[in-house]
Amino acid sequence: MLQLGDSAYPAGGFAFSWGLEGLAADGMLADRGELDRIIADQLERRWASMDRILLRQAFRAEDCAAVACVDRLAEAATPSAEMREGSRRAGRALLGVWVKLDGPLSVAYRGLVSSDGRLGHLAVVQAVVGRDAGLSQDAAELVSGWTLVTGLVSAAVRLGIIGHIEAQRSQEIARALLAELLAEAPPADALPASFTPFIDIAVSRGPLRHVRMFTT
């Protein structure tokens, strides 16, 4: 779990700001207070209600075909092309590392991902590599939520929105929220849903910006 949750894990997580860069460019993110609110929105209104649901479905999937079914749902349930592209890029990078580490499910699933451009979404791949790493479902969810938090905070530091000490404070707040969310299991029949309009719009407006540091 520590290995997968390590910011040095070579899956290219540093390339994604998940809307922070766009919100900052559009004047909607300028300080730590706003950052904390956006991280809370990401966790509560998107990760917990959508990514986590997809991850849990993929974690319980019987075989690669069933995992692919969840992956296609992730594709259909992500209206923004830029968000879909970002999710697939992040997922495929993560999968690629675990394929090189000879994870059997990862190797098998990569075969399907290579032949279908809709597959490879991050939440689904997090379930696949979590299973290969021998994690429990709870642990895989924790890694998923925590890597989102560290990725967002790290992006905010590189964008110059906060400094390193403030980053620790933001992580502390987000960690408490994540623990709160993880303490409550979603219903077994929960369907993926979200409401993060500002983040969705900021990510979708990415191609309008001439200079960008991040993919999303």
Partner 1 sequence: MFAWPFALTRSFHVDPYRPHCLSVIVQTASGAIHGEDSLAQRLLLGPGTAVCLTNQGATSVHRAAPGARATETVTLDVASGASLEYLPEPRILFPDAALSQTMELDCATDAHALIFDAFTMHDPLREGRYFRELESTFRLRKSGGEPLLIERTRICHPDRSLFRGYGAFGSAFMALPLGHDLADLHGALTTALEQMRGLYGAVSASPAQAGLGIRLAALELRCIRQAFEAVRRIYRRTLPSSLTKFRSEDPSTSGWAHVDPT
Distance CA 20, CA 214 (A): 9
Interaction residues for partner 1, span 33-92 (CB under 8 A): 37, 41, 45, 49, 72-73, 75-82, 84
Residue 15 beta carbon to partner 1: minimum distance, rounded to whole angstroms: 19
* Of residues 208 and 211, the one with the C-beta less far from partner 1: 208
State the alpha helices, DSSP H only, in 47-196: 52-60, 64-76, 81-100, 104-115, 122-132, 137-158, 164-182
Distance CA 24, CA 134 (A): 38
* Of residues 100 and 209, the one with the C-beta less far from partner 1: 209
* Of residues 72 and 158, the one with the C-beta less far from partner 1: 72
Residue 85 beta carbon to partner 1: minimum distance, rounded to whole angstroms: 10
Does 137 interact with partner 1 (rule: CB under 8 A)? no
Does 9 interact with partner 1 (rule: CB under 8 A)? no
Residue window 138-177: x/- pattern of binding to partner 1, with contact defined by CB under 8 A: ----------------------------------------
Does 204 interact with partner 1 (rule: CB under 8 A)? yes
Residue 23 beta carbon to partner 1: minimum distance, rounded to whole angstroms: 10
Q: Choose among 174, 182, 192: nearest CA to 77.
A: 192
Q: What is the DSSP letter of 14?
A: G
Residue 34: how many other CB atoms lie within 10 Å: 16
- The conformational region for residue 102 under phi > 0 = left, psi -120 to 50 = alpha, else beta, is left
* Of residues 103 and 192, the one with the C-beta less far from partner 1: 192
Distance CA 200, CA 186 (A): 23
Residues contacting 173, CB < 8 A, separation 6+: 36, 39, 40
Residue 121 beta carbon to partner 1: minimum distance, rounded to whole angstroms: 11
Binding footprint of partner 1 on the chain (CB under 8 A):
26, 28, 37, 41, 45, 49, 72-73, 75-82, 84, 118, 191-195, 197-198, 200-202, 204-205, 208
